[in-house]
Amino acid sequence: MHILHVVGARPNFMKAAPVLRALQGCGVRQTLVHTGQHYDANMSDVFFAQLAMPAPDVNLEVGSGSHAAQTAAILWRFEPVVEERRPDIVLVYGDVNSTLAAALVCAKLSLRIAHVEAGLRSFDRSMPEEINRVLTDQLADLLFTPSQDGDRNLQREGIPAERIHRVGNVMIDSLVRLLPEAQAASNGIPSRYALVTLHRPSNVDDERTLKSILHALLDMQGAVEIVFPVHPRTRQRIEQWRLGTGKLHLLEPLPYLEFLALQRHAAVVLTDSGGIQEETTYLGVPCLTLRNSTERPITVTMGTNVLVGDDPARLKTELARVLEGKAKKGTIPPLWDGHAAERIARILVTP
């Protein structure tokens, strides 16, 4: 059996690593294709190293561009790779442009597709990731979901139940394995801090919105120090519009282990990321999500996540609640146990 994995952007790497590992020793041949959607060393290479992933067999080197240009470049460059290698099944991960583009190529070539992290829905089609999720799930033959809401969403969209396998959360597999190696926060990090990440186009690509979020962060500094590893997209915008960042502790994007350590020791995390909502829920760290919707509702119903939307006043109120020690308590969702990838491997290799 020949399994081909496709990864492209930072949040794919911690999902693919445990599946690659679980399939080692199962007697299957594995090929790893990197689309090159993320290409900076600190957005890609360092994750391969820390997650002990094999070097990609192929790098499509598509780089950045508009959604259409990036997606088209992957379609164009990935097709000959799969035509030549003819895998038995192609695994795609998460909801980035590389996920949908690879799935589309395979569907047209009648190659079997498995989608890892299927079924998540924010029900907000203005998010590019929501389009990627819905369409990838329609094309996939096997759908591996992290939680029950995923199963329900897929069934509602007409996906036959026998294609859906609830396996749990592969990203938590990486966290469980590597948490013991995640060292305490590095030099220059205050002892008590709020950790911030921001990169959603809806938050950072509009000058007024980004300005108002930065103002809110600057306002909060009286109450707590702010540590902010800045995504390249966000850094470009801050520089382009010359926005003030006062005494915020701005950092470069961090490697996996360093970021995990910062999350673990944070008083609170403020984010618009998807995966971080899940990691904080696992770690039991309060999370305030700067979005109006989430495709990961279980982090709100069971976990430590609170959606604060785009209202700075709400953010302040929720932050004050956390800093007073009144954060809501969460529990870890079922099957977020470090063994999701093993369940995926078992399903893939069972005839």
State the residues that interact with ligand UD1 by CB under 6 A: 9-11, 37-40, 43, 64, 95-97, 128-129, 199, 231-233, 236
Q: Which is nearer to ligand UD1, 76 or 192 (CB)?
A: 76
Q: Which is nearer to ligand UD1, 133 or 166 (CB)?
A: 133
Catalytic residue among 34, 38, 199, 231: 199
24 CB-contact burial (10 Å; exposed 0-12 / middle 13-18 / buried 19+): exposed
Separation between Cα atoms, residue 173 and residue 41, nearest integer Å: 23
Separation between Cα atoms, residue 234 and residue 272, nearest integer Å: 12
The helix/strand count (H/E) of the chain reads as: 15, 13
Separation between Cα atoms, residue 33 and residue 57, nearest integer Å: 6
Question: Closest distance between ligand UD1 and the C-beta of residue 240, in Å?
Answer: 11
Q: Which is nearer to ligand UD1, 224 or 230 (CB)?
A: 230
Question: Closest distance between ligand UD1 and the C-beta of residue 219, in Å?
Answer: 26
Kindly list the strands in the beta sheet with 193-197, ordered across the sheet, starting from the edge strand earlier in the chain. 249-251, 225-229, 193-197, 268-271, 287-289, 305-307
Question: Closest distance between ligand UD1 and the C-beta of residue 148, in Å?
Answer: 23
Question: Closest distance between ligand UD1 and the C-beta of residue 334, in Å?
Answer: 25
318 CB-contact burial (10 Å; exposed 0-12 / middle 13-18 / buried 19+): buried
Verify whether residue 199 is a known catalytic residue: yes
Question: Closest distance between ligand UD1 and the C-beta of residue 275, in Å?
Answer: 8
Q: Which is nearer to ligand UD1, 201 or 284 (CB)?
A: 201
Query: 167 and 93 in contact (C-beta within 8 Å)?
Result: no
Q: Which is nearer to ligand UD1, 7 or 90 (CB)?
A: 7
Separation between Cα atoms, residue 186 and residue 50, nearest integer Å: 17
Query: DSSP character for 308?
Result: -
Residues labelled as active-site residues: 199
